[in-house]
Amino acid sequence: MPQHRLKLCEEHFLAWVERRVARTIESLEMFAPDDRLLVAVSGGKDSLTLWEILLRLGYRADGLYINLGIGHESYSDVSQARAEAFAAMHPEATLHVVNVAQRYGRSIPDLAHGRGHRVCSRCGMVKRYIMNRSAREGGYAVLATGHNLDDEAAQLLQNNLYWVRGYLQRQAPVLPEAAGGGLARKAKPLCLLYERESAAYALVRGIDYVQQECPYARRATSIFHKHILNDLERRSPGTKLQYYLGFVRARQDGFIVPEELEAGSGVCQRCGQPTTANEICAFCRMLETEGLL
């Protein structure tokens, strides 16, 4: 790991990763030891690694798998099987499963009506809705997601190159509960872990994860920005970490002017979830338009 000037054997690598995540959680004040956590699980390496580490660190962490109905009995169902297999080996934890088509009447691809560019935006909105609602209704203190350093740095670069101020203000390793409790506290405990480190951890621990990418994940821009950051990292190991951590600190110190979160100034008349300006939230508006409500 040239970024840390460190070479470790398998045993010490696993201990190192776990301690690193533990310290990230503490130093960024993500959550307390007895908080009940809901981990958003996709079946991929990052989210299963996160769940594994949280359980090993002694946290009470349940999982949430959202079946998006992508790939007709391949991608989404295979992913669900991996998440369930993982859960079966951890009897101390519960896996909640929400099947979008079964619960709301239509899969993500069907909600996008074959318009490819619409899949990712609808998918993001639906997932955010279900994740938040599941966390709130399940009484969880925190929603934890498996975003790693490469994800966060690429997202930051995207927001930073175009100085998208709102996104720069809201991109944080931990977001407090908001909207009078309507929006769950959110945390990204792997945000200081390189993608390679997360993948190596899953490999060494023998975690059986989905290797397949989402077939819609042609999100070329974020992949392109990951390549750019990899070029910078190769030339100067540690760049990604310094870039992201420097941002987090600048944000904390008020070097980037913070702004009150707007979200949740209202409550949806249909579902009771927080909504920004409208009487009906974006999710319910979609269901209405689609004739599903």
Angle at 57 between CA 12 and CA 188, to 5 degrees: 95
Q: Give min distance, CB of 255 to a second copy, in A.
A: 5
Q: Among residues 206 and 254, whose Cβ is nearest to a second copy? A: 254
Q: Among residues 2 and 181, whose Cβ is nearest to a second copy? A: 2
Rounded CA gap, 91 and 183, in Å? 29
Q: Among residues 103 and 249, whose Cβ is nearest to a second copy? A: 249
The residue written with tokens 């309507």 in the block is 182
Q: Among residues 5 and 7, whose Cβ is nearest to a second copy? A: 5
Task: Count Cα neighbours of 220 within 13 Å in the Cβ-side half-sphere.
Answer: 1
Q: Give min distance, CB of 240 to a second copy, in A.
A: 9
The residue written with tokens 């975690």 in the block is 207
Yes or no: say if 202 and 209 are a contact pair by the CB < 8 Å rule. yes
Q: Among residues 99 and 169, whose Cβ is nearest to a second copy? A: 169
Yes or no: say if 59 and 144 are a contact pair by the CB < 8 Å rule. no
Rounded CA gap, 123 and 49, in Å? 23
Q: Give min distance, CB of 220 to a second copy, in A.
A: 9
Q: Give min distance, CB of 175 to a second copy, in A.
A: 20
Q: Among residues 140 and 243, whose Cβ is nearest to a second copy? A: 243
Q: Among residues 184 and 248, whose Cβ is nearest to a second copy? A: 248
Q: Give min distance, CB of 249 to a second copy, in A.
A: 7
Q: Residue 228, Cβ neighbours under 10 Å: how many?
A: 14
Yes or no: say if 282 and 123 are a contact pair by the CB < 8 Å rule. no
Q: Give min distance, CB of 168 to a second copy, in A.
A: 8
Yes or no: say if 54 and 199 are a contact pair by the CB < 8 Å rule. no
Kindly give, in sequence order, each residue whose CB lies less than 8 Å from that of residue 55, ignoring residues fewer than 6 positions away.
61, 90, 92, 93
In this structure, what is the dihedral angle of CA atoms 203, 209, 212, 213, given to the nearest 10 degrees?
A: -90
Rounded CA gap, 133 and 123, in Å? 15
Reading the block at residue 22, the tokens are: 């533990």
Q: Give min distance, CB of 165 to a second copy, in A.
A: 6
Q: Contact residues for a second copy (CB under 8 A)?
A: 160-163, 165, 224, 228, 231-232, 235, 239, 242-243, 246-247, 249-250, 254-257
Q: Among residues 157 and 183, whose Cβ is nearest to a second copy? A: 157
Secondary element (H or E) of residue 39? strand 36-41
Q: Give min distance, CB of 92 to a second copy, in A.
A: 41
